Structure 1
């Protein structure tokens, strides 16, 4: 450290304490200084202390760019990642991840030092956890995915030099691979299976489920997107639907349902509607008018008054949960009666998302429909995502509308129903 005597513009004397230090980012020598105005021992000692503090602050700030001294244990890293990550996702995603976060405390001790976490340690922890809880391959993949995100956060903040979970490969057993393929196949329906499913839905007491199925087949919408629709979203004159929101109902009471954005930014779109979907929507609207009049004449606490198009018998919006329940009952009926009624064994497990699979598969099986048109219609960004929905076998949406209309005509659903 060295000291200088200087004069300002008006000739007044002041003093400067100087010191050189190594920049932690570049290693180059730099200079810092502090000004003081009295040439006394006390003033000089005070300037020395201030200069030391100033240099320490400069270095710590620059080290903070590439060092993270606060992340010492796995719990430190886990909590810091979660607080940052949860601001980037939706509430229902946070709820699902909290379950995994709680499991991680059993997987890896919270107080273990990050320097002690190695790939072998993580692999053994995963193995022990799976054996202890007899977890499925899918569950373990979810846990490893969360670990990857946590350790990647640690790498980004220089708490660890590399992710110890990235190099670990989880291998499913032959039986697990078969079961996964079987579950996936059960969601896909061919033409005769769609026909049987629609016929059974048409026989349900609440025909809104049948018309909802037609809407989902005709548009490829996600169930949450369809649940959020109101009359304001339908342009009957131009046969268009605006998809710009989704109804969130998972683990919530009816009064707690809320509207959220679509699953992805690309999910916001305008879709062209086939005529059979327009007719289904008109039937739904007429039923809603009858229901609203009934509620007006015979009010009851069990009835709900909402603006959503697709409603249950009590007026609440049809959600993934309520539709899944109906489809579950239909699946059971078909397993028992399908051979007698339709001439084949029912081996499928229809779920709300099955209708989106049907829509995309029909369009991708028509070689005249460009992939970009399919992506725009269903709100996909990545080609891999769209191709992941295809089964058995790839601007205007007219070709899509024509293809799905031809498919639905084979089902014989163009007849008038109440």
Structure 2
């Protein structure tokens, strides 16, 4: 319902309404009309637009304001916290600096395509696809969910191919892995808790199971079945920057699994449990985890993923090895399994991949040994 008043020689109207996206009470005042009937006609038209679109501004909403509401109301309640964090970061760092001051109706296909074409010098093809996916999803909602735009001008945008920049799979050879782990057996200089061998056992477990770093850091002693020689993987640790850590479900349904351990890894975990207790007794400030976390900080809290990554890279340099990330241990385990002759389906299930195709596309082309062994097996079969 509109209200009217005269200000000086002109008339204005005010409409109070409920925002369709946020549910918040808002109001809109428009003035400068010569007569009250003129103001009444304009108010009727605006009220009609409001009833149809849910917004008074049909496409005049500023992109930055629209994204603020879209993320908070349409995304945060329905996606995992880590997914929301990644989407919010992409919006804040990549979309809004370029488009934040535009009105929704000012977005156009040609200008947007030019912007996408400029991104390959800055980002990988996968990152560009994620940025565009978020932008396209938001604008689609502006059309179909909130009806503040008549059409989506950035549909069917073309993402530039980057065939010449294929990323090389990072992994350690069997010999490099041995050097990496052997270097962790002795106390590190300047280490505060030199008796602890936590990183030796953490990286041994990851290299012999293919666990993701978040899966490994989320483990508790209850997940370790010494009798059956298994590790139960049903959660992952998420440790956002400048935020509190939390446990989340694994990457996919197939990621929930029981991973069989070899005798060497079982022994390593048992030695870690003993070393952990010895370290608690040796240092006054070293505390056990109240939740039975297998790998933790000295005060018993979750081990930070960024600290693990930093330590990993420093150790690579110390041992004169390629400077990789902890995820390279997962790749290394997969490659070593395949080089040893393991079945691709078994490797896929052990890693918790969504499908065997993911495993095959990632690893089967990696080393000459896998190819040579396959050809040798074929030759033996044909000529035998």
Q: Same fold (TM over 0.5)?
A: yes
With over 3 angstroms needed to count, the CA separation of the structure-2 counterparts of 1:258 and 1:368, relative to structure 1, is closer
Deviations 1:245-281 (A, max 9, x none): 122223257xx43322223333221121111110110
2:83 is aligned, of 93, 96, 119, to: 93
Contact 1:228 1:259 in 2 (8 A): yes
- Give the structure 1 partner of residue 176 of structure 2: 193
C-alpha separation in 1, matches of 2:273 and 2:153: 54
In the TM superposition, what are the counterparts of 1:225-236 in structure 2 within 5 Å? Answer: 225-236=215-226
Task: Classify the secondary structure of the residue corresponding to 2:228.
Answer: coil
Once the two structures are TM-superposed, the CA of residue 241 in structure 1 deviates from its matched residue by 1.3
Task: Classify the secondary structure of the residue corresponding to 1:242.
Answer: strand
In the TM superposition, what are the counterparts of 1:7-406 in structure 2 within 5 Å? Answer: 72=59, 73=61, 75=63, 78-79=67-68, 81-82=70-71, 83-102=73-92, 103-114=94-105, 116-126=106-116, 130=119, 135-137=122-124, 140-154=128-142, 156-157=144-145, 159-162=149-152, 164-172=154-162, 174=164, 177=165, 181=167, 184-185=168-169, 187-205=170-188, 206-252=196-242, 256-294=244-282, 298=284, 300=285, 303-306=286-289, 307-312=292-297, 315-335=300-320, 346=321, 348-365=322-339, 368-371=342-345, 373-390=346-363, 392-393=366-367
Higher CA-based Rg: 1
With over 3 angstroms needed to count, the CA separation of the structure-2 counterparts of 1:292 and 1:123, relative to structure 1, is same
Q: Tell me the TM-score normalised to structure 2 length.
A: 0.67
Task: Classify the secondary structure of the residue corresponding to 2:139.
Answer: helix
Contact 2:224 2:232 in 1 (8 A): yes
Contact 1:86 1:94 in 2 (8 A): yes
C-alpha separation in 2, matches of 1:240 and 1:258: 24
Deviations 1:340-385 (A, max 9, x none): xxxxxx4x222111111112223344555142x3332222213343
Once the two structures are TM-superposed, the CA of residue 110 in structure 1 deviates from its matched residue by 4.1
Task: Classify the secondary structure of the residue corresponding to 1:271.
Answer: strand
Contact 2:236 2:249 in 1 (8 A): yes
Contact 1:144 1:165 in 2 (8 A): no
- Give the structure 1 partner of residue 31 of structure 2: none
What is the root-mean-square deviation in Å for CA atoms of aligned residues? 3.4
With over 3 angstroms needed to count, the CA separation of the structure-2 counterparts of 1:99 and 1:226, relative to structure 1, is same
Instruction: Structure 2 unaligned segments of length 5 or more: list them.
Output: 1-47, 189-195, 368-384
Once the two structures are TM-superposed, the CA of residue 317 in structure 1 deviates from its matched residue by 3.9
Once the two structures are TM-superposed, the CA of residue 233 in structure 1 deviates from its matched residue by 0.8
C-alpha separation in 1, matches of 2:246 and 2:98: 35
With over 3 angstroms needed to count, the CA separation of the structure-2 counterparts of 1:109 and 1:234, relative to structure 1, is closer
Deviates more, 1:349-358 or 1:191-200: 191-200
With over 3 angstroms needed to count, the CA separation of the structure-2 counterparts of 1:161 and 1:249, relative to structure 1, is same
Deviations 1:160-211 (A, max 9, x none): 544615322234495xx1xx53xx34x2222222122122233354422111
Once the two structures are TM-superposed, the CA of residue 143 in structure 1 deviates from its matched residue by 2.5
C-alpha separation in 2, matches of 1:190 and 1:269: 26
Contact 2:344 2:356 in 1 (8 A): no
Instruction: Structure 1 unaligned segments of length 5 or more: list them.
Output: 1-56, 336-345, 394-418
Contact 1:234 1:242 in 2 (8 A): yes
Task: Classify the secondary structure of the residue corresponding to 2:232.
Answer: strand
Contact 2:117 2:159 in 1 (8 A): no
C-alpha separation in 2, matches of 1:356 and 1:156: 42
